[in-house]
Chain A
Amino acid sequence: MTALHWAERLPPGMLLTELDALADPEADAAQHTPDAPLLALASATVRLARRRFGPFDLRVACGERIAILGPSGAGKSTLLKLIAGESAADEGAVQLDGQPLRARHAATIARRRAVLPQSHSVAFGMPVELVVQLGRIACEPDPQQPAIVAAALNAACAGALAGRRFDTLSGGEQARVQLARVFAQLWDVRAGLLLVDEPLAALDPGLQFELMDSLQTFARQRGHALIAVLHDINQALANFDRLWLVNDGRVTADLPASRVAIPALERLYGVALRCIDDEAGGLSVLARRAVA
Chain B
Amino acid sequence: MTTPHATTLPRWRRPRWPVPLLLVGVLLLALAVAVQLGAVPVAARDWWAPFGDDAMSGGAHVLWQLRWPRALLAVLIGASLGLAGALTQGLFRNPMADPGLLGVTSGAACAAALVLTVFAAAHASIPPAWRIAVLPASAFVGALAVCFLLDRIARWLTPGSVAGLLLTGLALNAVTMAVVGLCTYLATDEQLRSLSFWTLGSLASAQWGVVALVAVVLAASAWQARQLGHALNALALGESAAAHVGVDVGAVRRRLVIVVALLSAVAVAWCGLIAFIGLMAPHLVRGVAGADQRRLLPLAMIAGALLLLVADTVARTVVIPAEIPVGIFTSLIGGPGFLMLLRGVARQQGGHA
Instruction: Spell out A's residues near B (CB within 8 Å).
Output: 9, 11, 81, 84-86, 105-111, 114-115, 117, 119, 121-127, 129-131, 134-138, 140, 146-147, 150, 154, 157, 159-160, 162-164, 167, 181, 185
Contacts and interface: CB of A to CB of B under 8 A. Distances in A.
Contacts of A110: 244-246
Given A9-B1, A122-B237, A123-B236, A137 B292 contact: no
B217 to A, nearest CB: 26
A137 B234 CA distance: 8
Interface of B: 1-5, 8-13, 89, 93-95, 230-231, 233-238, 240-241, 243-249, 286, 290-292, 348
15 contacts: A11-B5, A86-B244, A108-B246, A123-B236, A124-B93, A124-B236, A126-B236, A126-B292, A127-B10, A137-B231, A137-B247, A150-B8, A157-B1, A181-B245, A185-B245
A126 B246 contact: no
Nearest to A138: B246
Contacts of A124: 89, 93, 95, 236, 286, 291
Nearest to B8: A162
Contacts of A157: 1
B291 A127 contact: yes
A86 B240 contact: yes
Contacts of A154: 1-2
Contacts of A106: 243, 246-249
A85 B248 CA distance: 12
A130 B244 contact: no
Q: What's the dominant secondary structure at chain A's contact region?
A: helix
Among B4, B11, B247, B291, max chain A CB count under 10 A is at B291
Q: Which 10 A-B pairs have the closest CB atoms?
A: A110-B246, A138-B246, A107-B246, A124-B291, A163-B10, A123-B93, A162-B8, A115-B244, A123-B236, A150-B5
B2 A135 contact: no
A84 B244 contact: yes
Contact of A159 (B3, B241, B290): B3
B229 to A, nearest CB: 11
Given A124-B291, A127-B290, A119 B1 contact: no
Given A86-B240, A124-B95, A150-B8, 10 more contacts: A111-B246, A114-B244, A117-B241, A117-B244, A125-B286, A127-B290, A136-B245, A137-B245, A146-B5, A159-B8
Contacts of A127: 10, 12-13, 290-292
